[in-house]
Structures are given as structure tokens and as C-alpha cells.
Amino acid sequence: MFEQLTPLPVDPILGLIALFRQDTNPDKVDLGVGIYKNERGETPVLASVRAAEERVLARQTSKAYVGPAGNLQFNRGMSELLLGDVFSAVESRFAAAQAPGGCGALRVAAELVKAAHPGATIWVSDPTWGNHIPLLGNAGLTIRTYPYFDAVSSSVDFSAMMDTLARVPAGDLVLLHGCCHNPSGADLSPTQWREIAALSLKNGFVPFVDMAYQGFGEGLDADAYGLRYLAEHLPEVLVAASCSKNFGVYRERVGLVGLLAANSATAQAAQSHMHSISRGIYSMPPDHGAALVAEVLMEPALRIQWEAEVAEMRDRINGLRTDFSRAMQARLGTDRFAFVERQRGMFSFLGLTEEQVLRLRREHSIYMLNSSRASISGLNRVNLPYVCDSIAAVVEEGSQRKVAGVSIP
């Protein structure tokens, strides 16, 4: 029965984890998967999450099912974290359910769209996170792209983006990265968010916000500006949130799917669909990670501790962005990598060719995606000079070959 199956290529992000593990070079550097690393290259459990875990385990008396909506305190805490002050005004129109990670939230959201409008198209940025297309497309929705990133200026090509969005019909959805765009690191400004909101209101497409890095860009509130503005001004907004990065609960699979509906009756109907969708795929979400996040969000002392930990992760990444840009300026004598300091979040495209990326991997044991997406927190004070020397070497060799008229393979 299964003999017709042939092996599929490995996922480019997950495949890189395996390649990195196999490399025996003691100087190897992992700039691949989006997992936050501290200065020692570790991804420890956050102290606030560890404290929450002790409290949750101490009072847990049962492992009975949590129910299809998951942990209700988690749902409320996350809805408030995402929507801030806007939440109380829209609460009766907001349906939300715990989901297994940001991926689970995206998939439930896609199934909800399909239940409402089987023919809907979701427009995603070009480029977008590699797993968006399978996650949303496998639900049976049509995926189309809108221009987003200008590789020459390493910033958002907003006029090209808006030209395409102006043609998106009512009833389609536009997937927007809430902050810390993955993979480019190039974010929308508050003015641009407001322009998108006005266009959505005029033309009737529905914004679908993926919030996977809240707190990693400018701050927990600043990073939610766009989502909150949309929620305040539009009748409908879909949201998928991940707690993997900002709570460091990657393997626990914690996320939230939310729909701001046009009225409370629709929100109630959507809530029942979320339950039915999760029941039909995985029955109900896992308890543990969401219980920890709920504890952190609801217990004032833990919340303060967690916010400080998020700030520490954010400041470290932003500091590394500055250090990297300056170190490359010192090596190359040009501001070619200055954009890394301006961008936000875990990732930047370094603007290297695939051949240069593969040389860095083969000859220097430095791992990033073939697209040259680099996960910035993989840098630290020890490996940064080595990484910058290696990048400068492959970049300079490339320009020498160009000057000598030799084509780069």
C-alpha cells in the first residue's frame, strides 16, 4: 500500500539542526534555527518559567483532560498580552483557543477560514517563513504572495506591497508578521500599519497576524502596535500567536488562535468552530506549557521577572546586531552590513549568495539557511570575530573573482 511513497526532501530549517549536530569542528557556529541562545550558546529554561513550573506542579492534583479551548486563564492572559488596552473594548467579539504552538494556531486559523470561506485565498509576504505555505496550504486554501522585501535596500518595499494589496479582493486574507519579520528582519513602521488598516477597511480583505516574537523587537507593547491598531479599527482580524520564543517553551508547544469577529454572535460561532477543528485534528491542546505561561502572566512577581527576561533577550540580540554591523564595517571598510543594526528580531538576511553560504558551512562550520537567513542570537563575544572574519573572507573573495572577470559558480 505504501510502496508508492518516495522520500521527501528534509525541511530546510530542521535539516540544518541535524547537519550542525553532525559537524565535529569545535569552532562551529549555529546561526540556523530560530531558537534564542544566550552568551554561552545555551537555551536555558527562563527563571520565571522555572518558578511557574514549580508552583504549577506543586498544586496539580489531576491530569484529566483540559477541554478543547485549553487553559482559559492562558487564553485570557494571552489575549490581553496581544491586544493590550484594546482587549477590554473588543472582548465580546474575540474568540480564542489555546493551540499546540504557533504552528497549531496557524493551522486552526486556516481551517476556520476554510470553514467560513472554502475558496478564500491567503496572501503571504514574499519572502515568508518557510512553514507558512505548507501549514496554510495543506488546509486546502489557495496561497498567493505580495512583494515585501527589497534585497537592495534590505528593507520593506512598501509601495510594491501596497500596489499588490490594493488588488486583494474582499474576503481574502493577508498574512502579516506582527513584528520581527521571519526571515528578513525588516518590519513595518506604525505609519505603514495604519495605511494597511485603511486599505483593509476600504477594500474588505481580512488581516491575519502571525505574532511569533512579541517582545523581541522593540518591546512587548511596541511590537504589538500593528495588531492592536488593526483590532481597534477593523471589524475582523485573525491572529495566531506563539509562546515558543518569548517564554522559551519551544518543545512544550504553546500558542493561541484568536478571531476578532464583526459581532459577538459570530465570535461565539467561531469559538465553537475552533473547538470542533481542534477536536478533529488533535482533540485538545497539551496542558503543561500553557499552564506555565498562564502562571507567569497572572502572578505579578513572575510577570515582572518574565518581562525583565524578555528585555534581556531583546537587548542582547539588538546589541549583537550593532556589534556585527560595526565589526563588518571594520573588516570591509563599507556599510554593506549596516542594515543588520536597523533590523529587528531573531533573523536577518545577510545578502550572501547560496554559494557563499555553502562555503561558510563547508569551510568554516558556520551554519545559516541557504537563503543567508542568520539567527542573530547564535552570535556571542567569542564567535563574533570568527564569524565576521569568515564572512569577510567569502565576500572579498567573491568581489576579487568578479574583478578578475571570473564568474562565481
Query: For the chain, what's the residue count?
Result: 409
Helix (H, G, I), strand (E, B) or coil at 373: strand
Minimum CB–partner distance for residue 226 and ligand LMR (Å): 19
The rounded distance, in Å, linking the Cα atoms of 245 and 377 is: 12
The rounded distance, in Å, linking the Cα atoms of 367 and 17 is: 9
Minimum CB–partner distance for residue 261 and ligand LMR (Å): 28
Q: Is 129 in the site for ligand LMR (CB under 6 A)?
A: yes
Q: Quick one: which H or E segment has residue 339?
A: helix 339-342
Site for ligand LMR in 281-320 (CB under 6 A): none
Q: Is 345 in the site for ligand LMR (CB under 6 A)?
A: no
Nearest CB to ligand LMR, comparing residues 210 and 323: 210
Please report, as a single letter, which amino acid is at residue 186.
A
Nearest CB to ligand LMR, comparing residues 131 and 192: 131
Q: Is 131 in the site for ligand LMR (CB under 6 A)?
A: yes
Residue of 400, 378, 320 whose CA lies nearest to 41: 378
Nearest CB to ligand LMR, comparing residues 214 and 271: 214
Among 20, 34, 356, 379, binds ligand LMR (CB under 6 A): 34
Among 17, 19, 33, 160, binds ligand LMR (CB under 6 A): 33
Minimum CB–partner distance for residue 377 and ligand LMR (Å): 11
Site for ligand LMR in 13-32 (CB under 6 A): 13
Minimum CB–partner distance for residue 347 and ligand LMR (Å): 7
Give the residue numbers marked as catalytic. 129, 210, 212, 245
Site for ligand LMR in 150-189 (CB under 6 A): 182
Say which residue the cell 557556529 belongs to.
29
Minimum CB–partner distance for residue 19 and ligand LMR (Å): 14
Cβ atoms of 93 and 121 closer than 8 Å: no
Q: Is 367 in the site for ligand LMR (CB under 6 A)?
A: no
Residue of minimal CB distance from ligand LMR?
Answer: 34
Cβ atoms of 232 and 84 closer than 8 Å: no
Sequence-distant (6+) residues with CB within 8 A of 38 are 44, 316, 377
Please report, as a single letter, which amino acid is at residue 62.
S
Say which residue the cell 498574512 belongs to.
175
Q: Write out the three cell numbers for 192.
A: 505603514
List residues binding ligand LMR (CB under 6 A): 13, 33-34, 129, 131, 182
